Amino acid sequence: MSDPVFIRRTPPGETNGRKPYRMRSFVLTSGGALVLIAILVLSLLPVEDATRVISDTPDYCNQLYGQASAEAQKTPAALAAEVDTLVERGRQMCRAGQIRGGIIRLRRALMLMHLPPPTANR
């Protein structure tokens, strides 16, 4: 067992060559008040929109496949062949146990579907 640590309070007026530490003056300043308000506000925010934790699992792969295949129906004709190939290859890889490769292809397909349409150079 370690020895207890005692912190001696510095008597008023004695600074030992250092500037005295004053917590009360920090909290009462506008900067300290803003920090406290920010902490309070952040602690009251709902956690509904928290970052989704994902993992390389067959369930996540199937979830991505469902999302990609549903959105593939709305894909412009210029990208439809590439998107369909990526979605199908991703599904095959997920079923074969190559989860990471399948997820990569499904995410790439989703990314292609969400790109803005190309504009003609004039």
> What tens digit of pLDDT does each residue of 80-122 get?
888 899 999 999 999 999 999 999 999 999 998 887 766 655 5
Tokens of 32: 């300290």
Query: Considering the domain boundaries, does residue 72 fall inside one?
Result: yes
Query: Considering the domain boundaries, does residue 100 fall inside one?
Result: yes
Per the structure, the complete domain to which residue 78 belongs is given by 58-113
Query: Considering the domain boundaries, does residue 23 fall inside one?
Result: no
Tokens of 87: 């979605």
Query: Considering the domain boundaries, does residue 104 fall inside one?
Result: yes
Query: Considering the domain boundaries, does residue 103 fall inside one?
Result: yes
Query: Considering the domain boundaries, does residue 30 fall inside one?
Result: no
Reported as type and span, the H/E element at residue 108 is helix 99-113
27 falls in which pLDDT band (50, 70, 90)?
very low
pTM above 0.75, yes or no: no
Q: Out of 1-5, 37-41, 73-77, 89-93, which region has the weakest mean confidence (pLDDT)? A: 1-5
Query: Considering the domain boundaries, does residue 12 fall inside one?
Result: no
First to last CA, the chain: 80
Query: Considering the domain boundaries, does residue 80 fall inside one?
Result: yes
Q: What is the pLDDT of residues 7-26, one digit of tens each?
A: 666 666 666 666 655 555 55
User: In total, how many domains does the chain have?
Assistant: 1
DSSP letters spanning 72-106: HTT--HHHHHHHHHHHHHHHHHHHTT-HHHHHHHH
